[in-house]
Amino acid sequence: MLETISHLAQYPNQHLLVVGVGNPLRGDDAAGLILGEKVATRLGLAYLCCEEVPENYLGEMLDNPADTILVVDAVDMNAEVGEIKLLPLEELAAESISTHNCSVSLLATVLAGVKGKEMLVLGIQPYSLGWGQDLTAAISVAIERFVAGLPEGNSAAPPQ
């Protein structure tokens, strides 16, 4: 977890756009939205809430001055519930491993091909994705613990 936190804290705020992906009506699938917003707020970064359809926000991602897009999503990583880590794109299958329609790999290809943008994926291992369920306690605790480990503001950001 410390390696992931260190990696995120190195991006100046104008260079990183945080994109939250998830369905707020499907239990832990909302974790990408909640974690994404909290990471962006804590680090002083721009945030884009895409819910289940990040492909609908492709234009905004391309037009944003950030050169790196951090997609935050609940991802089945076969890990311990609540584990949060950066996932290399080459490890993601061409088909989506989240609950969403568009493959993250496909988004990364378009962003890189059109504007030369890099994409990072911050995944959190969900427990339950059932319709009408709330976020599980284990996921809430994992999010709070992770965000508390981030520096406030973005220490790598240039002075304003």
The pLDDT assigned to 15 comes to 84
Picking from 79, 93, 68, 153, the residue whose alpha carbon sits closest to that of residue 123 is: 79
Q: What is the pLDDT of residue 9?
A: 66
At 132 the pLDDT is 82
Q: What is the pTM of this model?
A: 0.84
Residues of the chain with pLDDT under 50: 94-97, 101, 155-160
At 159 the pLDDT is 32
pLDDT score recorded for residue 148: 94
Strand pairing report for 118-124 and 84-87: antiparallel
State the Cα angle at 21 between 92 and 120, rounded to 5°. Answer: 45
Number of H helices, E strands in the chain: 5, 5
Structure token pair of residue 13: 């705020």
What is the predicted pLDDT for the residue at 18? 94
> Which tokens sit at 55?
């492909």
- Name the fold adopted by 2-148: Rossmann fold (3.40.50)
In the prediction, which pLDDT does 12 show?
60
Task: Please state the domain extents for the chain.
Answer: 2-148
- Residue 47: the pLDDT is 95
pLDDT at 3: 74
Q: What is the pLDDT of residue 102?
A: 56
